[in-house]
């Protein structure tokens, strides 16, 4: 899909979110800013395509469970990386603050759950799993995502990048469950662990 296609799909979803979460016209008027944030060419991974993928995962989960997608979950997925600077350690807090400024404390709370990706409430867990679903993609897609993230952190020297990235991946691998919901665990857990192990091995091989 092109960026225009992703933007159109996200805009339709955002209109639905605004109509069902109390954000209303005030929230929808913010869409150009939101889309502009994700369209920054320096965002190689945390961009419109990533948000589109997260929304796909939310729809897939809803279809698997025979449920309608929760508008608050969709809102949190759309906004969870709206403020993003790879040099900052406060991206989640700043994105949550932006959601709060639009008038949704519930969306803001869900965004904060994506900072640690630790178990939380049921809807928070769904947001977390959608965000992490890319870890369980086929290796070729996982590798492309990894390359895109590396481009976002191009200011980090190679040796520091390999050490730091391997540490982050080991954190996920050390958990008893990467995914919080049974539905995501059933489909993505094994593949995610294989990808993480392979990626850690390749990072070490180049150190």
- What DSSP character marks residue 70? P
- pLDDT attached to residue 206: 58
Instruction: Please check whether residue 117 is in contact with residue 130, taking contact to mean a CB–CB distance below 8 angstroms.
Output: no
How buried is 12 (Cβ within 10 angstroms: 0-12 exposed, 13-18 middle, 19+ buried)?
Answer: exposed
Instruction: Please check whether residue 196 is in contact with residue 166, taking contact to mean a CB–CB distance below 8 angstroms.
Output: no
- pLDDT attached to residue 117: 83
Output the tens digit of pLDDT for each of the chain's 207 residues: 888 999 999 999 999 999 999 899 999 999 999 999 999 999 999 999 999 999 999 999 999 999 999 999 999 999 999 999 999 999 999 999 999 999 999 999 999 999 988 767 889 999 999 999 999 999 999 999 999 999 999 999 999 999 999 999 999 999 999 999 999 999 999 999 999 999 999 998 655
Q: Measuring CA to CA, how many Å separate 123 from each of 81, 85, 174?
A: 17, 26, 23
Query: Encoding tokens for residue 65?
Result: 């469970």
Secondary-structure breakdown of the chain: helix, strand, coil percentages, each rounded to the nearest 5: 75, 0, 25
- pLDDT attached to residue 119: 67
CA pair distance 204, 159, nearest whole angstrom = 10
CA pair distance 35, 145, nearest whole angstrom = 20
Q: Measuring CA to CA, how many Å separate 64 from each of 44, 60, 69, 103, 189?
A: 30, 6, 11, 31, 16
How buried is 73 (Cβ within 10 angstroms: 0-12 exposed, 13-18 middle, 19+ buried)?
Answer: buried
Q: What is the pTM of this model?
A: 0.95
- pLDDT attached to residue 63: 96
Query: Encoding tokens for residue 192?
Result: 């995610």
CA pair distance 115, 90, nearest whole angstrom = 9
- pLDDT attached to residue 116: 83
């Amino acid at each position: 899909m092109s960026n225009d296609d992703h933007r159109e799909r996200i805009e339709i979803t955002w209109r639905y979110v605004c109509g069902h979460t109390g954000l209303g016209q005030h929230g929808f008027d913010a869409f150009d800013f939101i889309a502009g944030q994700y369209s920054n060419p320096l965002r190689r991974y945390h961009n419109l395509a990533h948000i589109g993928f997260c929304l796909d995962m939310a729809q897939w989960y809803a279809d698997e469970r025979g449920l309608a997608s929760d508008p608050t979950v969709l809102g949190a997925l759309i906004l969870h990386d709206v403020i993003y600077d790879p040099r900052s350690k406060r991206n989640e807090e700043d994105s949550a603050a932006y959601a709060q400024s639009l008038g949704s404390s519930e969306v803001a709370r869900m965004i904060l759950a994506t900072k640690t990706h630790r178990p939380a409430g049921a809807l928070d867990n769904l947001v977390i799993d959608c965000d992490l679903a890319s870890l369980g993609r086929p290796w070729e897609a996982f590798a492309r995502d990894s390359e895109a993230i590396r481009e976002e952190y191009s200011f980090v020297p190679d040796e520091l990048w390999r050490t730091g990235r391997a540490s982050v991946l080991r954190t996920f691998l050390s958990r008893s469950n990467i995914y919080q919901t049974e539905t995501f665990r059933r489909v993505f857990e094994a593949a995610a662990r294989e990808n993480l192990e392979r990626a850690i091995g390749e990072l070490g091989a180049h150190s």
